[in-house]
């Protein structure tokens, strides 16, 4: 197989300035609704890029769990690689790859932790096994074997009770909010002449909007 021969022409849609709302979060909400309605697999999955003090970018998938005018929220382990990178460099980038719709959305911004109350509310809404899993995983640390992980889960279940009982928010786990500074909406077009519009947060607090060359 020659990878270079795998080629699609994008013809599902187009994006004009007149289609876009003044506010990028509202526009994002509209595109998220489209992605859900179109049956995109894991529409809330987003690639999160960070770079710590060493300047080496790293990307991984996380799930969008909150959206408001303040930004995009995801949850994770603060001591993971991404958590350590974000402690060193508060800037991050998000990518929503809605390829079935020939769309992507790119966000850049500054990251802050969400408040403990908000994180505790979200944590309490997770299935019990996921809550136990958060206590089990020293995310991003080397682990000797699958058996080691399962033995740790058994210890956590014993600690918090196998069936019932409170599973509190781990002190090393919670949410981050990406406060957007730029948001780009990308729609694939024929002959690689794609439509791109980027919102940039103005010093005055509003948003400017520019078309970018594909
Ligand atoms: C579809 C999908 C969703 C994921 N969602 C999350 C998430 O919300 N939070 C999280 O910490 N990891 C999530 N992961 C795992 C991360 O991609 C990653 O492996 C993990 O967070 C460790 O990353 P790090 O070592 O760069 O910190 C998800 C992975 C996939 C494929």
> pLDDT by residue (tens digit) across 32-65?
999 999 999 999 999 999 999 999 999 999 999 9
Residue pLDDT, tens place only, 135-177: 998 999 999 999 999 999 999 999 998 667 789 999 999 999 9
Whole-angstrom distance, CA of residue 28 vs CA of residue 165: 38
The alpha carbon of 29 and the centre of ligand 1 are apart by a number of angstroms equal to 22
Q: pLDDT band at residue 114, thresholds of 50, 70 and 90?
A: very high
Mean pLDDT of the chain: 96
pLDDT of amino acid 164:
72
Residue pLDDT, tens place only, 117-141: 999 999 999 999 999 999 998 999 9
pLDDT of amino acid 137:
83
Which residue of 60, 170, 175, 176 sits with most ligand 1 atoms within 8 Å of its CB, as the best mutation to test the pocket?
60
pLDDT of amino acid 162:
65
Q: What is the DSSP string of 82-114?
A: HHHHHHH--EEEEEEEEGGGTEEEEEEEEEEEP
The alpha carbon of 138 and the centre of ligand 1 are apart by a number of angstroms equal to 13
The HSE-up count of residue 141 (CA atoms within 13 Å, CB side) is: 11
What is the mean predicted confidence (pLDDT) over 181-200? 97
Q: Which CATH number applies to 9-127+171-212?
A: 2.30.110.10
Residue 103 has pLDDT above 70, yes or no: yes
* Residues carrying an active site annotation: 192
How many C-beta neighbours within 10 Å does residue 185 have? 23
CB 178 within 8 A of CB 172: no
Residue 195 has pLDDT above 80, yes or no: yes
Residue pLDDT, tens place only, 71-81: 999 999 999 99
Whole-angstrom distance, CA of residue 45 vs CA of residue 177: 15
pLDDT of amino acid 205:
86
pLDDT of amino acid 110:
98
Q: What's the predicted TM-score (pTM) here?
A: 0.96
Q: pLDDT band at residue 70, thresholds of 50, 70 and 90?
A: very high
Residue 140: CB within 6 Å of ligand 1? Answer: yes
128-136 vs 146-160: helix crossing angle, rounded to 10: 120
């Amino acid at each position: 197989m020659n990878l270079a021969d795998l080629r699609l022409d994008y013809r599902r849609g187009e994006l004009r300035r007149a289609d876009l709302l003044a506010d990028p979060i509202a526009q994002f909400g509209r595109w998220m609704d489209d992605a859900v309605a179109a049956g995109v697999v894991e529409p809330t999955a987003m690639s999160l890029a960070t770079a710590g003090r060493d300047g080496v970018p790293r990307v991984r998938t996380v799930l969008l769990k909150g959206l408001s005018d303040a930004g995009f929220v995801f949850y994770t382990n603060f001591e993971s690689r991404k958590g350590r990178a974000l402690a060193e460099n508060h800037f991050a980038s998000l990518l929503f790859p809605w390829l079935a719709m020939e769309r992507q959305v790119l966000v850049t911004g500054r990251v802050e932790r969400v408040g403990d109350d908000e994180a505790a509310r979200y944590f309490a809404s997770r299935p019990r096994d996921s809550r136990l899993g958060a206590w089990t995983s020293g995310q991003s640390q080397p682990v000797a074997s699958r058996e080691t992980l399962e033995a740790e889960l058994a210890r956590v279940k014993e600690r918090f009770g196998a069936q019932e009982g409170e599973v509190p928010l781990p002190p090393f786990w919670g949410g981050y909010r990406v406060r957007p500074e730029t948001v780009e909406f990308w729609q694939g077009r024929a002959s690689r002449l794609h439509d791109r519009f980027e919102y940039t947060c103005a010093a005055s607090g509003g948003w400017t909007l520019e078309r970018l060359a594909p």
